[in-house]
Structure 1
């Protein structure tokens, strides 16, 4: 009930959420460094991942974009296939956050549509990458997304287009680093929002970096979307 109330207060629709009777709510215990703003997360989960069967209960009408986290790859692949079948042309994006068994099956997204893979720096580094530009070019050989984006934290963000054009935008660190929790999710949301608004790719990266950087300068993310800098075209 507490989680439902928290989501409702932020106007997040949970109509399609699956309630697992007898399940335990996953919890994260976060240690935040006052000195650096970095965090250490201890996560406990005793709840099954969302399944493709669960996802069939989600209404896909009136969607502008379908975004997935790269979890439970086999089930996520089936969810993406449903979107591709029922919603031709709907843009699809997937965040590749960390290595998981079978994660490579999410590198190829179906259909003739805008497709986006957002690959985390942690994933790239766990693949042995040290240079983001070289990693993106090599990774592009294993996927067919129309756009690849690789946020590289305080060193900025990189993108590779379908035409293999490489773009870079510098980071926007806050004056004082307060809290890095959810900065990656803020970046992803800003990217999708900017693309939906038709922004040029260079501006997409710029806006995403700016919003993510601003989130690192405050506790939590409430109020971020209310700032003038959060909207495209200002």
Structure 2
């Protein structure tokens, strides 16, 4: 479950993690609707409609304004600085989540935000899953990107857990492999732990204890890194949800992220991988 309503950043987290996988993933990424007079509202909905993203389940906060972000991109290096403004839009709550019919979904992804509430949502899914045979259960994935202590309680709640390079370093690890081996004890039995490490590619560790690695696929010219991590997640989730191996998923994630860094924005990413 993702709260995605930022003028710039929402495309990185919705378009790449939803549109790229729209034909095969039953994800639900919620946005929260702000006052219709605010121009971001139209921008978001038009973009969702353009890419056939279903927003029928979004929660509405008519008196709130959408968060907005100004992204300053360095033309020479492709790096970016983000100035973020969030006035009053609340995060998704467990009450919002309770209105969702879980039987409509096969995979739900949480980006770590208000972890206390998110764990309650995940527990609802776990209760739902407990009544079903394994092949009918919803797969749960979580991403722990920010170095915030409350988010670390999400570790044992995902079937697939993504951690960022920043989180790995926060725990004192200096490589993806070291982070996965050092933090795997935090995830639940049978889970997959994944860590991307920028130009060094990404590693994953599953219950068999075998480390899986993919090299990075950098573009000839680095143009725009905004959303690289989200496009990586998109590729991994797309592959895993369609029965791909962990190696295939990791490689696709790195390929998608590398391709994205070679141009501005996100339009056309799915066409570049239309044969996948």
Question: TM-score scaled to structure 2, two decimals?
Answer: 0.78
Alignment partner for residue 92 of structure 1, among 134, 140, 162?
Answer: 140
Q: Secondary structure at the match of 2:59?
A: coil
Alignment partner for residue 155 of structure 1, among 200, 218, 232?
Answer: 200
CA shift, 1:18, in A, is 1.1
CA shift, 1:17, in A, is 0.8
Alignment partner for residue 40 of structure 1, among 68, 73, 81?
Answer: 81
Give the number of equivalent residue pairs.
227
Question: CA, structure 1 residues 78+231, in 2 after alignment: closer, same or farther (shift >3 Å)?
Answer: farther
Residues 211 and 230, structure 1, Cα contact 8 Å, conserved in 2: no
* Residues 178-215 of structure 1: per-residue CA shift (max 9 Å, x gap): 11111111111111110112112111111110011001
Residues 71 and 83, structure 2, Cα contact 8 Å, conserved in 1: yes
Distance 1:58 1:45 in 2: 26
Alignment partner for residue 60 of structure 1, among 87, 96, 102?
Answer: 102
CA shift, 1:141, in A, is 1.4
2:12 matched to which residue of 1? none
Q: Which has the higher contact order (CA 8 A, sep 6+)?
A: 2
Residues 30 and 39, structure 1, Cα contact 8 Å, conserved in 2: yes
2:20 matched to which residue of 1? none
Residues 179 and 216, structure 1, Cα contact 8 Å, conserved in 2: yes
CA shift, 1:166, in A, is 0.7
Pairs within 5 Å for 1:190-229: 190-227=235-272, 229=273
Alignment partner for residue 175 of structure 1, among 220, 236, 246?
Answer: 220
Question: TM-score scaled to structure 1, two decimals?
Answer: 0.92
CA shift, 1:69, in A, is 0.6
Distance 1:105 1:55 in 2: 19
Pairs within 5 Å for 1:129-168: 129-144=173-188, 146-168=191-213
CA RMSD of aligned residues (A): 1.5
Alignment partner for residue 124 of structure 1, among 153, 168, 184?
Answer: 168
Residues 223 and 262, structure 2, Cα contact 8 Å, conserved in 1: yes
Alignment partner for residue 106 of structure 1, among 130, 145, 154?
Answer: 154
